Structure 1
Amino acid sequence: LRVVIPRFQQLYEEGAAGQSKLTQYTRYLTIALGLLNATTLVSLARSGQLLPNCQLPIIPDDSIVTTILIIITLTAGTGLIMWMGELVTEKGVGNGMSLLIFTSIVSSFPGSLGAIWTSQGPGTFFMVLVIGLLTVAAVVFVEQSQRRVPVQYAKRMIGRRTVGGTSTYIPIKVNMAGVVPVIFASSMLYLPGLISQFNQPQPGEPMAPWVEWINNNLVRGDQPIYMVLYFAMIVFFT
């Protein structure tokens, strides 16, 4: 967030006090987003739009007490994950949230690769595996790349001696923004689909044109408009 919001960068540069405030702001924002996400999931579950093919009610008791309890439980789970991420970071293992996200993504690899092997055959399986490894290698290469700006120090006379005249460089990362632009872009593109979920028509009613347009162009990642907007947002946030 420091890359996108200058105020957060100022707090980070203020030292321990500023970083403490920044941590508190991040926690509040995380809980707020968790509350919003939990409310959305419960609303979709109550309306039957969360799992359209499910014939049984996801929440049999949709009373206000049960709804509030589910929302609080989901939000508490967000707080628990945030605490676990901070704990991993404090122990020096690495960036806690990044490791948790990485673990969540990697955990789906065996099932996905197994499905590719079963449905597409070993040829496609090994091709996907090679492409994945090359993609990881390219990402690591770009992430670790530096542009070295040369710096030349002028010579100085101190007494009868000549000192200085050395040369060095300033390392500047090629990808200074990291993964923040990708996360922000995907989050922004998630909002139109979320809004359309709240405006789905009842059975027998026609769908609004703008909702249909969002469902056709901004929900799936294989649509041209989605790809163009995704690319443009990544460049913008970078």
Structure 2
Amino acid sequence: MLSTLRNAWRIPEIRKKMIFTLLMLLVFRLGSAIPVPYMNKDAIKAIFESNQGGLLQFLDLMAGGNFSKFSIFATNIYPYITASIVIQLLTIAIPSLEEIAKQGEEGQKKIGRYTKYGAIVLALIQASGYTFGLFSGALETTNALQTSIVIISMIAGTAFLMWLGELITEKGIGNGVSLIIFIGIISALPAELINMYKMVRLGLINIVAVILFAIVALLIIAAVIAIQEGERRITVQYAKRVVGRKMYGGQSTHIPVKVLMSGVMPVIFASSLLALPQTIALFTKGGVSEWITKYLTPQGSVGVWIYSIFNILLIIFFTYFYTAIQFNTVEYAKNLQQNGGFIPGIRPGRPTSDYLGKVVNRVVIVGGLALAVLSILPIVLSKIFGMNVNFGGTAIIIVVGVALETVKQLEAQMLMRHYKGFLK
């Protein structure tokens, strides 16, 4: 990874993209320091201290610390992620949306627009919930205009992050939205480590449990790298063709079917959806909040198991869902047939499509299950050993996965420029 970054830095065009990406992420971190007006910071701090090791800490970790600071990015990029899940599911369910999605680049622009509208609506609901519900005790407004400014500030923060993510994807390196989540989680890591060190010093956590958790974290990192790099190679043979006096084709190659084509998106999507019950628990009071906390969140005695089961099911579902979008077996089989390619022992056309579908399904289930188990393992271990660790499997998988995907994009761009230079 370090050698890739060093080699990429030497290429002027890629260096500009890397610098641009770093500057945009710096803008995100600077924006995280801008507080929402008319909010009492001491009251917000008191709310977080009263919920030490609870739901707020996990949501704050995924928001990159913007939640506890109650900055303009308090609602973060997650309304956009939730909206994109909803729109993609509706695209399958509603024929008119499916037709729009098939209209090429213009259709994708329309779908992107609908996603942004949905994100703004969700950000409005979330910002209103924070203002009038969870943090109503910290609100220091005297009229409707000031209250509107509080809500609009958070909605504008989410809209800005959507724009920033697209800008990074277009002009920088890597997926902009994933990098924003990545840098947010990374920024919270030092505080988490310091907090764990203090708890060990005070005797609140057993040092053996911390060492065990560190070993599990290292194993998760190694496993994520192995899954991301793993692939099943399907041999493809191209038939010989005589054109004039020359013979073309006859070579053998392979189709690389990645164990994890979807990357870390299933984990991001699953964590975004599973955060909804936790958010609702924060907005409600009394019996409803207690029931949600006990049965639907990892902080509950029963909820940790229900949460883990739903986490596994959602990650596997989104792994299949994203793979189906990225790898269309029917189109792949058609392209192979048109170019004179075939899989040895498999007839072209429908049999090839069925065979590719069977292989992809077998590979995907391995990747999905592995991701799901790795994401819940630290949660279960934390519950068994009585550790309040927010930096769990989900955060580790996202960080490692995004880092690997970004480095791969760098390698792809370096390879492309190498070939360009060769052709010149």
TM-score by length of 2: 0.46
Determine which structure has greater relative contact order: mean sequence separation of CA pairs < 8 Å that are 6+ residues apart, divided by chain length: 2
Per the alignment, residue 40 of structure 1 pairs with 129
- Aligned amino acid, residue 107 of structure 2: G
CA spacing shift, 1:146–1:187, aligned 2, 3 Å: same
Per the alignment, residue 204 of structure 1 pairs with none
For structure 1, which segment, 113-122 or 154-163, has the greater mean C-alpha deviation from structure 2 after superposition?
Answer: 154-163
Per the alignment, residue 23 of structure 1 pairs with 112
Identity %: 39
Per the alignment, residue 229 of structure 1 pairs with 310
What RMSD in Å do the two structures reach over aligned CA positions? 3.2
For 1:107, what is the secondary structure of its paired residue? helix
Q: How many residues align?
A: 222
For 1:93, what is the secondary structure of its paired residue? coil
CA spacing shift, 1:230–1:221, aligned 2, 3 Å: farther
For 1:141, what is the secondary structure of its paired residue? helix
Per the alignment, residue 103 of structure 1 pairs with 183
Q: Contact 1:117–1:124 (CA<8 Å) still a contact in 2?
A: no
Q: 1-side partners of 2:112 and 2:165: how far apart?
A: 13
| Pick aligned residue for 1:218 from 296, 299, 313 | 296
- In the TM superposition, 1:129-144 aligns within 5 A as 129-144=214-229
Q: Deviations over 1:176-225 (max 9, x none)?
A: 23223223322322223333444423xxxxx25xx533220212257111
Q: 2-side partners of 1:88 and 1:163: how far apart?
A: 41
Q: 2-side partners of 1:133 and 1:16: how far apart?
A: 41
- Aligned amino acid, residue 16 of structure 1: E
Please, which runs of 5 or more residues in structure 2 have no aligned partner?
1-83, 202-206, 320-424
Q: Contact 2:229–2:258 (CA<8 Å) still a contact in 1?
A: yes
Q: 2-side partners of 1:159 and 1:233: how far apart?
A: 55
For structure 1, which segment, 94-103 or 38-47, has the greater mean C-alpha deviation from structure 2 after superposition?
Answer: 38-47
For 2:130, what is the secondary structure of its paired residue? helix
1 or 2, which has the higher helix percentage? 2
Q: 2-side partners of 1:119 and 1:237: how far apart?
A: 37
- In the TM superposition, 1:165-204 aligns within 5 A as 165-201=250-286
Per the alignment, residue 53 of structure 1 pairs with none
- Aligned amino acid, residue 117 of structure 1: Y
Q: 1-side partners of 2:154 and 2:318: how far apart?
A: 30
Please, which runs of 5 or more residues in structure 1 have no aligned partner?
48-56, 202-206
For 2:253, what is the secondary structure of its paired residue? strand
TM-score by length of 1: 0.76
Tell me how far 1:173 sits from its aligned partner: 1.8
